[in-house]
Amino acid sequence: MSVRVSMKVNGKPVSADIEERTLLVSFIRENLRLTGTHVGCDTAQCGACTVHLNGKAIKSCSIVAMQAEGADILTIEGVAHPDGTLHPMQAAFKENHGLQCGFCTPGMVMNALDFAKSHPNPSEEEVRESLEGNLCRCTGYHNIVKSIMAGARAMAGSK
Amino acid sequence: MTPSLIGARVPRKEDYRFLTGSGQYTDDVALPGQTYAAFVRSPHAHAVVRSVKTDKAKRAPGVIAVYTGADLAAAKVGGLPCGWLITDVNGQPMKEPPYPALAQGKVRHVGERVAIVVAESAAQARDAADLVEVDYQPLPAVVSVAQAKKGPALHESAPDNTCYVWALGDKNAVDAAFAKAAHVTKLEFVNNRLVPNAIEPRAVNAVYSRADDSTTLYVASQNPHVERLLMTAFVLGLPENKVRVVAPDVGGGFGSKIYLYAEDVACTWAARQLARPVKWTADRSEAFLSDAHGRDHLTVAELALGSDGKFLAMRVRTTANMGAYLSTFASCIPTILYATLLAGQYTTPAIYCEVTAVFTNTTPVDAYRGAGRPEATYVVERLVETAAREMKLDPAELRRKNFIRQFPYQTPVALCYDTGNYEATLAAAIKIGDVAGFKERREQSLRRGKLRGLGYACYIEACGIAPSNVAGSLGARAGLFEAGEIRVHPTGTVTVFTGSHSHGQGHETTFAQVVADRLGLSIEQVEIVHGDTSKILFGMGTYGSRSIAVGGTAIVKAMDKIVAKGKKIAAHLLEASEGDIEYDRGVFRVAGTDKKKTFGEVAFAAYVPHNYPLDKLEPGLNENAFYDPTNFTFPAGSYVCEVEVDRETGNTQIASFTAVDDFGKVINPMIVEGQVHGGLTQGIGQALTEGCAYDETGQLLTGSLTDYCIPRANDVPMFKIDTRETPCTHNPLGVKGCGEAGAIGAPAAVMNAITDALGVKDVPMPATAQNVWRAMHRA
């Protein structure tokens, strides 16, 4: 069965006719061709597919696109400034070498952006706790933790 | 003069695209007319395939084609080749049973491919795959290494499931040394089977163009040229000049993306039948069943010592699991890359190692980060630490007593170490790890109900496997060189083409530093291109921590040629003799004068050759080089791990981890630190959380990320790391490689710490709370 879904993605209204079973992540990747959101597992463990739904970080592999009807979605493509300047959280990942292969990175950044809203000056322990649902196989988390601590402080400072 | 870029913490050129979601991984490639493949996989570990009925699947919505093993056999598609021939103790070649891309008559592990379904959408392909009816006659399966020889035979050519029995070292000398030893330490353990789990699953998108009879393969690969060579020369019989392999952004490899996989072959063949692009992307469950696994050794190891603590000899017997078939480099991992490392950092004069490689009804096993060297380090460093405890010697002092201190050093297991300073890394690790304060910390832990332990590991690694002719005499079926090309553009910017592949290592930055530094350019003026056989002249790719030592050296050799030609051009422009031209970081100067030409001016003259010695010199400035190393490089280091074990639950936490490595010259310390962090975490994962469990019928019980635990942020601490430097003596950069070190040294350090905390001789890996609790209650 085909169904029409409409939502706002990165500030732009989008709609498409899709199969009912289409996951939000498939809608984002295949229909909208926004391929920065990644799929790393099939059990909602890795967090590579993390996007914001109405401002909250969610795993876009864990809901069907229909559940996001009318929602405001932010993906990694919508994070940097329109002129291309990196968001302070993205910049912190670059400065602290918080990424290697880059595959988990969009999910890490999306999760960190949500976390930083409520944690303007997080401790190492809080950051590690916040990464419970995001897996990285390259960095050993060391520099991701540093990146998020620095990024959160930069976000708080730029307000 | 600008400061040198060698040793500078240059931010990565590749980061912007990854941080903004603009990376292009294989699954992101969507082509006109795109189709999608799904594989029908065996649910049985061992079964006869009586029939495969595809009618229903072919009639399902959106289905374009269904192919089975019979279709590939009829088309004479070859089996997957093994790239290393091991000769056994009797001088016979290893058993190499056929490894068909789609099953032929029998399946030998859960997840083996039986059919490929191609449809208009990925969902339709999956739906239709469920409609393929396979009639299996299940057979008894053999799963464990220990049972392999007694189990039912997988392959006709290997009736006792033995691929080879291979040995290295002087057995008689070892036996004689053991006979007169004052002390013998003996351990028996399993080196646990691991699943690499790069976060990007394997993916392939194959395209065939009838217009020019060309095939293009986008694939998540660490070595696109090797993939092309194996695919064309051994499997599909296509001419190489009609096949292009592109490995775009690749989301981690750790060894698992070195190999030619059956899915790559089946998709490529299907694309050629259909003349439409065929894409397949593994889901994580498929990755667990079909990516090559790592490790899986059963080992009995003994160390003979004199009464003074000097190592006299080492004797090792290992049974290594190959899985159901020989993956691309499976055969050389527990032999050439394992037994040769058993000298470690020590002067042990006699070593003998016997390896039996067996087939079982499990997923094929091949190189995973470290590949043989973690297993060797585990043997050596668990033995040494255990011997120290048994002989009531300080484990650091026992190591010091036996360190190799004279270089070059010829080991009794074939390798010749060119350089090293093991005392320097150990002393630094002891200091940074504050070993002196350990007793106090142990008491503090005890007051909180925790057992604290400290363990060392002093590892040696052999990287940049080579030279080709020696490897060839040991069974390698490929060359082990690397290629590089420097293309200087008329305005003086440079594009560098390298056969190395980057899938997280940051070559686009590190290699650019090497080139920019030598040519006097900014980092932005150097572009690194990798991962496309149509652009790069050749390459063996990235594995075994070889990229900077081998690939980087090929680039340096190409730069040497650029500078040599540049000197000729500059001599002409400066009206001087070529012999008087000096070159230093972008400036050609007449010796002893202020007459000079910049690199940019020379480049421009080469492409606008108006004032140019055309009678003697070709225009243009473009050079390439192939570099075949004369020896391995030998990174080494010392690790100190402290753990805290909860006495009630057995739950174990890494309290601190100190790593001091000697990678030779370091080009970008920031990137090197990142490599160490990642390697350590994978090593800690092997020690604490990761391990495959199969049931007795060959079902993988740890088949998802909920059952197989790769470390999370909470499982690891902030690492204390540093480097010491003895430059490699046989490559111009003095580099050794850093990609695998952490995964090599960490497991032994962690397990030495846990056994110290518990006061027991051994705990099996992974040291889950359950395994630790059991060990505590046995003690």
Residues 6+ apart with CB under 8 A from A39: A25, A29, A48, A49, A61, B27, B201, B281, B283
Looking at the fold, whether B105 and B127 belong to one and the same domain comes out as yes
Do the chains contact at B251 and A38, CB–CB below 8 Å?
yes
Do the chains contact at B682 and A137, CB–CB below 8 Å?
yes
**Which chain B residues contact residue A145 at CB under 8 A?**
713, 718
Which of B11, B504, B682 has its CB closest to that of A100? B504
**Which chain B residues contact residue A21 at CB under 8 A?**
123
Model-level pTM? 0.97
Structure-token match 């003259």, residue found: B605
Chain A CA closest to residue B503: A101
CA distance A122 to chain B (A): 15
Do the chains contact at B504 and A102, CB–CB below 8 Å?
yes
pLDDT, tens digit, 9 for 90 and up, residues B29-84:
999 999 999 999 999 999 999 999 999 999 999 999 999 999 999 999 999 999 99
Which of A35, A37, A137 has its CB closest to that of B252? A137
Chain A CA closest to residue B674: A139
Mutate to test the interface with B, among A138, A139, A145, A148 (most CBs of B within 10 A): A138
Alpha-carbon gap, residue B336 to B338, rounded angstroms: 6
Asked if B687 and B453 touch (Cβ cutoff 8 Å), the reply is no
- pLDDT at B200 (0 to 100): 98
CB contact, 8 Å: A69 with chain B? Answer: no
- Let me know if residue B152 belongs to a domain: no
Looking at the fold, whether B636 and B622 belong to one and the same domain comes out as no
- Let me know if residue B5 belongs to a domain: no
Looking at the fold, whether B215 and B84 belong to one and the same domain comes out as yes
pLDDT, tens digit, 9 for 90 and up, residues A81-90:
999 999 999 9
Mutate to test the interface with B, among A46, A90, A103, A130 (most CBs of B within 10 A): A103
- pLDDT at B425 (0 to 100): 98
Looking at the fold, whether B422 and B545 belong to one and the same domain comes out as no
Q: Which of B593, B627, B661 is the last residue of a domain?
A: B627
Structure-token match 């350089």, residue found: B419
Q: Which of B565, B597, B627 is the last residue of a domain?
A: B627
**Which chain A residues contact residue B506 at CB under 8 A?**
100
Handedness of CA B704, B708, B710, B715 (dihedral sign): positive
**Which chain A residues contact residue B27 at CB under 8 A?**
35, 39
Residue B174 exposure: Cα atoms within 13 Å on the Cβ side: 22
Do the chains contact at B718 and A143, CB–CB below 8 Å?
no
- pLDDT at B760 (0 to 100): 97
Which of B19, B251, B505 has its CB closest to that of A103? B251
- Let me know if residue B8 belongs to a domain: no
Task: Kindly state the average pLDDT of the residues B215-241.
Answer: 95
- pLDDT at A158 (0 to 100): 80
Asked if B574 and B588 touch (Cβ cutoff 8 Å), the reply is yes
Do the chains contact at B249 and A102, CB–CB below 8 Å?
yes
pLDDT over 80 (residue B423): yes
- Let me know if residue B193 belongs to a domain: no
CATH classification at residue B24: 3.90.1170.50
Looking at the fold, whether B320 and B450 belong to one and the same domain comes out as yes
Prediction ipTM score: 0.98
Range of the domain at B533: 481-627
Grouping H, G, I as helix, E, B as strand and the rest as coil, residue B226 is: helix
- Let me know if residue B3 belongs to a domain: no
Residues 6+ apart with CB under 8 A from B566: B583, B588, B599, B602, B603, B606, B621
Do the chains contact at A105 and B20, CB–CB below 8 Å?
no
Grouping H, G, I as helix, E, B as strand and the rest as coil, residue B368 is: coil
Residues 6+ apart with CB under 8 A from B648: B449
3-state secondary structure A77-98: HHCCCCCCCCCHHHHHHHHCCC
Do the chains contact at B252 and A100, CB–CB below 8 Å?
yes
Looking at the fold, whether B436 and B324 belong to one and the same domain comes out as yes
- pLDDT at A1 (0 to 100): 72
B1 confidence band (pLDDT: 50, 70, 90) = low
3-state secondary structure B280-346: EECCHHHHHHHCCEECCEEEEEEEEECCCCCEEEEEEEEEEEEECCCCCCHHHCCCCCCHHHCCCCE
CB contact, 8 Å: B740 with chain A? Answer: no
Which of A84, A97, A109 has its CB closest to that of B670? A97
Looking at the fold, whether B430 and B546 belong to one and the same domain comes out as no
pLDDT, tens digit, 9 for 90 and up, residues B346-356:
999 999 999 99
Q: Are strands B350-359 and B311-323 parallel, antiparallel or unpaired?
A: parallel
- Let me know if residue B475 belongs to a domain: no
- pLDDT at B466 (0 to 100): 80
CB contact, 8 Å: B681 with chain A? Answer: yes
Alpha-carbon gap, residue B486 to B562, rounded angstroms: 8
Q: Kindly state the tokens that stand for B624.
A: 């390439």
- pLDDT at B473 (0 to 100): 87
pLDDT, tens digit, 9 for 90 and up, residues B340-388:
999 999 999 999 999 999 999 999 999 999 999 999 999 999 999 999 9
CB contact, 8 Å: B668 with chain A? Answer: no
pLDDT over 90 (residue B567): yes
- Let me know if residue B180 belongs to a domain: no
CB-based burial, A67-92: b 16+ in 10 Å, e otherwise: ebeebebbbbbbbbeeeeebbbbbbb
Q: Are strands B720-723 and B652-662 parallel, antiparallel or unpaired?
A: parallel
CB contact, 8 Å: A139 with chain B? Answer: yes
**Which chain B residues contact residue A60 at CB under 8 A?**
none
CATH classification at residue B733: 3.30.365.10
**Which chain A residues contact residue B679 at CB under 8 A?**
140
Q: Which of B597, B627, B657 is the last residue of a domain?
A: B627
Alpha-carbon gap, residue B635 to B228, rounded angstroms: 31
Task: Kindly state the average pLDDT of the residues B637-662.
Answer: 98
Domains and CATH numbers, chain A: 2-77 (3.10.20.30), 88-157 (1.10.150.120)
Angle at CA of residue B294, ends B334 and B458, nearest 5°: 65
Helix (H) or strand (E) holding A117, with range, is helix A105-118
CA distance A151 to chain B (A): 13
pLDDT over 90 (residue B3): no
Looking at the fold, whether B621 and B640 belong to one and the same domain comes out as no
pLDDT over 80 (residue B779): no
pLDDT, tens digit, 9 for 90 and up, residues B168-218:
999 999 999 999 999 999 999 999 999 999 999 999 999 999 999 999 999
Looking at the fold, whether B95 and B50 belong to one and the same domain comes out as yes
Task: Kindly state the average pLDDT of the residues A135-148.
Answer: 98
Which of B23, B283, B716 has its CB closest to that of A140? B716
Do the chains contact at A140 and B28, CB–CB below 8 Å?
no
Count the domains in chain B: 3
Supply the DSSP string of B610-654, one letter for each residue: TSS-TTTS-S--EEEEEE--SS-B--EEEEEEEEEEETTT--EEE
Looking at the fold, whether B356 and B306 belong to one and the same domain comes out as yes
Looking at the fold, whether B430 and B548 belong to one and the same domain comes out as no
Looking at the fold, whether B611 and B672 belong to one and the same domain comes out as no
- Let me know if residue B126 belongs to a domain: yes
Task: Kindly state the average pLDDT of the residues B754-767.
Answer: 98
Which of A76, A103, A143 has its CB closest to that of B199? A103
